[in-house]
Chain A
């Protein structure tokens, strides 16, 4: 687009001219230029210059055409017409006069009149508008300009200038405001008059167009063009577009009708004019935002002219023209896309649907490059034919563009006068060919493709971008820039490879291979060659008609070509000098004298060349025992390949071994100390697995993995191939869909599916026994001992380590107690390893001190002393359960069987044992009141005990385990920070808490009775904890376990009333006895008590049935009945109900408490006295 002249590229700008008062020109010009729309200014310092500027040289042409209308029009558009109207022919002429000149003395006034007269004479033929600007002096501050110039003088001025009053403008630069007003006034007057001028000019020519009174179509086109330009001047884009289109259509008709010029030049002129018109139309459409219309227009333009190729000798000119059309349109589209920001979608109103790419400048850049390529090819042909015809003479030098657009003529200098002489087509062709040679088309093509490539990559059209890159690379290849070409081709090949486009990959690799060859890069050359030779190009593809010229240096893809490449590359690596043509670059042969090392990994494109699969037959192998391993190799090269030697490299380098080809001469290189196997043949047949099975033996336990398979071929080539497991081996992507027999890498199909390149080497069998000797479940809170015995049975134990782990059977966070379950124990673990007690530490304290022993809550590490063969060592693990929970105990012994730890391997023995943790002892308690004594406790709080009264506490202990236990002692202990505020009596006698040997069988219960007499009144009296010492019943004296049971805090209050019921323990039929109720008032208040007695059939009683009485403070009231039993046996005494009026509390003894046994006659008790005596000491626990 840059090659177009400025006046064509930019929209026309109004031009006005200033004359007189040159000091104001700069001010006015800059203001007008900043107007919207801007106005250009042609400034003339004084009136004498007018005639010089406006002397119309073109009047000659006009005169000629006017004088002879029948003569043929020499051209379509004049080259300088547009420029002239933009820079030389103003629409408005402004004559600037100082006010003194007008209002001054008569001499000045006469000068003004003369200048005006001259002006009018000059501008009248051109219809240019006139404005008179009266410049008011800066010092003038009159309120009206009328004060400055008299009315008469103004009238005279208007008459002289033949102007309306509004076209005489006063310019006052007195202050800033006035200056601004004056400038604005000038601007609007100029704009208005300029619009009028352009409209009138346009209308004048339009009338001519509409009347169609032209002698030639050229004039018609020219006038349409002029109307359109004038419309553009006044920003009437619609009319401009219409007339440009008219001109374009008329021009297209000329192709078949015009005979004015020789054929070639005629076509050239038409195309160049069409190009300009098309450029204008496209610009207008795109600036109007009609992108779809512009694209559709371009499509039509392309369709109209693409077949107008012209005579064969000048085809290149057509392609150049076509290329320029695409380039210019791409640039236009690019700039307007940036301006509009968003590209509208495919337009629905266009006749034919537009596709996405047509909205992308990249599409046009790419086609511009393609046409430029066509041009280059055609130009080369033209040059060749031209040279064959006799060469290019120097006559082309004097050819220059003519007066008319698209025309060229010869410049002749005759007596210092330049004259134009028409050219013949032959001369023009020679000129064009000579001009064409001046340009380096390849760089232009690369630049276009680069733009296209970047643009396509920007919109993520990677394949289009890739194609551009490919074309760029071909251009680089053409100009022998192999580095850039190779770089681009590598990327292109990578895309084709990943998507499996073999034919395209073949072409790209063909180029990049040649680049490597020319650049002397041997390794790359060999790699690309091998990949090409192994591509799945079969003979089927040759059915398709590939143009060998287009297929690049590698030729069309075929099996024969693959074989050629195969032979070529293997000849090269064999070092067979002269056996194969390496090309022009001799460096390649020289560089290939050294060894060549290729690496093939899992993602390498060379996997098709050599694929190595390695499978161990067993996944777990014994140390020192030979295991079978199968190495399978597959090659897709078109011809068989003989491998000289094959080396398998493992992660344990001692296992590496070499397989030699027996058919090849043995070399001793690089196999010092390695195991060497011999294979009868190491020939790789196309598509067929070469399977080799050998033994491998490892002494070290752990993973044994085959890492690399290194194949040496010929004398120079080494291919290091990463080993792959058959189980996880990927297909060869390019060969996946090829028609071939699928074979397994191993003979055994199972191994082909599951085989791994790595195997696990087991440890040596341990010859040491590890015994965990625990029996039975563990009990909570006891220190449970697990004896561990290590016995050597063949191995000596060096640096033995015993690792102990406690793991929850159910898994998960067993040992972290939850926050909601605070543990009473000090331990933060439910089950914890307390320690390890070794049996021999006492024997050898030196050994014990050097031991490593790390004990954590659930993990322990203990060192095991040196043990000779047959010796044993044992220890005991002390584990404590805080909660009943089953755990798994893992014990692992690791040791070296040899004193030299570096040479020998550690051996491990693992043992595990599940141990249940159970609750052994359950303690419970119960509070009871003394016999037949009922204090009135007012509070509802439970448990509550009466103050100063003896209450009974029964503590029960139950053996919940499955083993008999021994109880040692039971006591109630106070916590350290609490004082005992009650009197405690042991049921067993005094303060004795030792129980002697009390056996508690599984399921059995033991109870102990304590008497508590609270001494203070308290809402929460701390009673303390029951401390029970117990142990398992066993022959060995195990340590006692202390189990604590916290008693609840109790409420102690003083009962206001205490009722004691007194009646004999038994009665005798017919024998009267006393039934007494003692109601004691412990308060300092008078208490009213009501009581009543129910009837009973078995008794006759004496006393009042119901009564009410008052009990004095701190005194006791006795209610006594005399009762005679009438029936024998268990009898219910009459029920007494005592009611305290003050506390609204009723008391009635329980049924059990008011039952008595009636003997039919008086019994005889032999041990009555002894029993009575004992009853005083041991109060009955319960009479129920």
Chain B
């Protein structure tokens, strides 16, 4: 289940962030989304290390926290879409499709 969707501007400023959990952990999700920007930066700055996934805008799994998985999507204008899910075994293709759908909104 997607528990948080965030749109982050090219200066890493939050443009939109919405969590969808019943538990009171919105603040924690804010922290997770913010920290995941480090991984985005790392992948953008060191594309060699990150392997073939960086050829496209979908950044894939950014990092696993204990309870969540964080996925990223980077647009041409350096706007980032960050998805936080609770499903620990999600296929990359599914997350990618969701990311593209959000982009098209």
Q: Which residues of A contact B (CB under 8 A)?
A: 306, 345-346, 348, 353, 355-358, 363, 367, 370, 456, 461-464, 467, 496, 499-504, 507, 544-551, 737
Contacts and interface: CB of A to CB of B under 8 A. Distances in A.
Contacts of B14: 499-502
A499 B17 CA distance: 14
A545 B21 contact: yes
A348 B34 CA distance: 27
Contacts of B93: none
Contacts of B30: 501, 503-504
Given A499-B12, A501-B34, A545-B21, A461 B42 contact: yes
Nearest to B52: A348
B51 A346 contact: yes
In this complex, which of B12, B14, B23, B31 has the most chain A Cβ atoms within 10 angstroms of its Cβ? B31
Contacts of B18: 544
Contacts of B24: 545-550
B2 interface: no
Interface in B1-57: 9, 11-15, 17-19, 21-28, 30-31, 34-35, 37-39, 42-43, 49-51
B62 A355 contact: yes
A499 B11 contact: yes
For the complex of A and B, 9 pairs with smallest distance between CB atoms = A547-B24, A500-B13, A461-B38, A544-B26, A357-B63, A463-B38, A355-B63, A499-B12, A545-B24
B42 A547 contact: no
26 contacts: A306-B66, A345-B49, A346-B51, A355-B62, A357-B39, A358-B63, A358-B64, A456-B38, A462-B38, A463-B34, A463-B38, A496-B34, A499-B11, A500-B11, A500-B14, A501-B14, A503-B27, A504-B30, A504-B31, A545-B21, A545-B26, A547-B24, A547-B25, A547-B26, A550-B25, A551-B27
A356 B66 CA distance: 15
A346 to B, nearest CB: 7
Nearest to A353: B61
Given A499-B12, A504-B31, A737-B13, A353 B21 contact: no
Given A356-B42, A467-B34, 19 more contacts: A306-B66, A345-B49, A353-B61, A355-B62, A357-B39, A370-B66, A461-B38, A461-B42, A464-B35, A464-B38, A499-B14, A507-B27, A544-B19, A545-B22, A545-B25, A546-B27, A547-B24, A547-B27, A549-B24
In this complex, which of B25, B26, B60, B64 has the most chain A Cβ atoms within 10 angstroms of its Cβ? B26
A114 B31 CA distance: 77
A546 B29 CA distance: 10
Interface string B63-90: 1101000000000000000000000000
B64 A467 contact: no
A48 B51 CA distance: 67
A198 to B, nearest CB: 41
A546 B38 CA distance: 24
A502 B9 CA distance: 14
A462 B25 CA distance: 23
Nearest to A543: B18
Interface residues of B, number: 35
A345 B61 CA distance: 15
A348 B52 CA distance: 11
Nearest to A357: B63
A123 to B, nearest CB: 53
Nearest to B89: A352
A1140 to B, nearest CB: 92
Contacts of A550: 24-25, 27-28
Nearest to A370: B66
A542 to B, nearest CB: 10
Interface of B: 9, 11-15, 17-19, 21-28, 30-31, 34-35, 37-39, 42-43, 49-51, 60-64, 66
A544 B29 CA distance: 11
Contacts of A363: 63
A499 B13 contact: yes
Contacts of A737: 9, 13, 15
Nearest to B64: A355
Contacts of A496: 34
Given A355-B61, A355-B63, A357-B39, A546 B26 contact: yes
In this complex, which of A370, A464, A467, A502 has the most chain B Cβ atoms within 10 angstroms of its Cβ? A464
Contacts of B63: 355-358, 363
A353 B30 CA distance: 24
A504 B23 CA distance: 18
A131 to B, nearest CB: 54
Contacts of B39: 355-357
A456 B27 CA distance: 21
A545 B61 contact: no
A80 B11 CA distance: 59
Nearest to A502: B14
Contact of B23 (A456, A467, A499, A545): A545
In this complex, which of B11, B38, B66 has the most chain A Cβ atoms within 10 angstroms of its Cβ? B38
Nearest to A343: B49
A363 B63 CA distance: 10
A811 B34 CA distance: 57
Nearest to B60: A353
Given A355-B61, A355-B64, A467 B31 contact: yes
Contacts of B37: 463
A464 B39 CA distance: 9
B86 to A, nearest CB: 15
Nearest to B38: A461
Contacts of B51: 345-346, 348
A353 B34 CA distance: 22
Contacts of A353: 60-61
B6 to A, nearest CB: 10
A547 B19 CA distance: 13
A427 to B, nearest CB: 32
A462 B51 CA distance: 23
Contacts of A355: 39, 61-64
Nearest to B53: A353
A545 B19 CA distance: 8
Contacts of A306: 66
B13 A467 contact: no
A861 to B, nearest CB: 55
Nearest to A459: B42
Contacts of A499: 11-14, 34
In this complex, which of B11, B49, B50, B64 has the most chain A Cβ atoms within 10 angstroms of its Cβ? B64
Contacts of A357: 39, 63
B2 to A, nearest CB: 15
Contacts of B34: 463, 467, 496, 499, 501, 504
A503 B19 CA distance: 13
A501 B26 CA distance: 13
Contacts of A345: 49, 51
A738 to B, nearest CB: 12
Nearest to A550: B27
Contacts of B13: 499-501, 737
A499 B37 CA distance: 11
A462 B39 CA distance: 10
B93 to A, nearest CB: 13
B79 to A, nearest CB: 13
In this complex, which of A346, A356, A461, A549 has the most chain B Cβ atoms within 10 angstroms of its Cβ? A356
A845 B22 CA distance: 101
A547 B42 CA distance: 31
Nearest to A556: B27
Nearest to B8: A499
Contacts of B26: 503, 544-547
Nearest to A468: B35
A311 B39 CA distance: 38
A496 B17 CA distance: 15
A500 B9 CA distance: 10
A357 B69 CA distance: 13
Contacts of B60: 353
Contacts of B31: 467, 504
B35 A463 contact: yes
